[in-house]
Structure formats: C-alpha cells, structure tokens
Amino acid sequence: MSNKIWINGKYFDKLDAKVSVYDHGFLYGDGVFEGIRIYSGKVFKHKEHIDRLYESAKAIALTIPMSPPEMMQVVENAVAENKKVDGYIRLVVSRGAGNLGIDPRRCEPVVIVIVDDISLYPAELYESGLEVITSSYIRNHPNATNPRVKSLNYLNNVLAKIEATRAGCLEAIMLNHKGEVAECTADNLFIVKNGVLKTPPPDAGILEGVTRNFVIDLAEKAGIPFKEATLTRHDVYIADEMFLTGTGAEVIAVTKVDERVLGTGKQGPITKRLRELFTAGVRA
C-alpha cells in the first residue's frame, strides 16, 4: 500500500506528493520539522513534539497556518489514514514557495505530514554498541542558527555524518564553538561515570531532544544519579558507559570513541537498564 502524504489539507500518494521548486524549504533550507514515533498506534510524546515545532517556528519568524491542537489532529488523522501501528512521522513546515530571492515575505507556508517507517541502525548494534568518531565539523554557533531550532538546514550535521561514514562509523560526536561536547549528528548523548549519568545541557549547543528528556525522567524515577554537565572529549574517553538517544535511534550504546574502547567494550548495565525502561515506557 502506498503511503498517503498530507500536504496543506490534501492526501497524495507517495509518488505524487510534490512541492514547488520555488519552495524556500528546498531552495534555502528555510523551515522547521519534527520526527515523531508511533508506538502501538499512539503518537509518542505528541504534545512535546508539537510544542517544540511551534517554538522552532517562532524562533525563525515562521507563522504556522494552524493552531497546535489543529496540527495535532492533522497528525493523528494522517496516522489513521496510513493505518500505521508502529512507525515514524516526519512533520515539516516550510516557508513555502516564493521567488528566487531570500526575502520570504511572498511565501505561503506549506505543511507536510509523512507517515512511514525508519531504522537508523542495524538491529545487532543495539546489543554490541556503536563505534563513533569526533567530527571536525562543529554545531552551529548559537548566534547563527541556534541548535535548539530544529530547522530544515542540517548541512553541518550532514557533513559530520559523511565524515563518520568515511571513517567506517555510523555516527559522530559534534563539539560546540567552545570545544565542548554537544551532541551527535542526529542524537543526544549521555555518559556514565562512577554510577552517575551525565548529558550536556541545552546551552552546550544541543537540540533538547524529546527522547532525551524522556530518558532523563526514566533515570530519575529509577533512582539513577543524574546531572546535566559540561563535557569534554576527555570525559567521553574515560567514561564507563555511553549511549545515544533520539526519536529514530531510541536508546543505543556506544562502545568505542575515536578508537578508544569505553568501559568493558560492551553495553553497560545502566545503558541496558534504561533501554529496558524505555522499551516498556513507550508502550505503557
């Protein structure tokens, strides 16, 4: 069955879903998006994702042509239209079609809802763990496009991903403009040292992930000591455990960074525990 893509009020088959070549999302990466999971027929953390979408849009002065409750209903309807029980939603709001200049005043926003499947990493790596590198590409400076905006312009992440794959890895750590650890190309990161769970704070140049916040909540409820902390590569290299979180990735261990084996070289006990809590929690 072909996916049904929702574009500004109408459904289109996947092969017929199109936007203008004059769309500023295509021409300039001008827009925002969210990636959202579907578990057991329910949209996971729906309100949190929609809230972040509207915050990102506000930050780039993009007016979304419907209210948050209306947007949530559109997403729910698209999931039902596609009869998707477990899957992934890509919700995109582009500035829309204008002229070839960058002035967006003539643009009319375009809203797109794609319901499909996603798999970022091979299943076996969820047991053995990922090997990652540190990228030479940094996260955006907060006075450029703030990393807290989930914009359509992911070029620095894409370049870091290319660098990782050329090094034989599937993911890369990105530093901020101060040389501190920020996040990976598509995931937030956590480390464990001496039983304490740590992750960079929002002002380290990260996207404040919905899955990140859910895992923090799970850890605190499970009594796992936790704190947001500024991290350097040194902190990562000497960590007992490391794992990544994200809508696509969910929770996945990292066992080697820049050729340095972390801990025992296997998924650690706190990572395993949080993976189990996550799997149970998303279907609760």
The catalytic residues are 150
Helix spans in the chain (H): 24-28, 46-59, 68-81, 125-128, 155-166, 210-221, 233-237, 269-281
- Name the token pair of 202: 């929002």
Site of tokens 């905006």: 149
Residues contacting 260, CB < 8 A, separation 6+: 237
Residue 106 near residue 124, CB atoms below 8 Å: no
SS (H, E, C) 203-248: HHCCCCCHHHHHHHHHHHHCCCCEEECCCCHHHHHCCCEEEEEECC
Q: Which is it for the CA torsion 111, 116, 122, 127, positive or negative?
A: positive
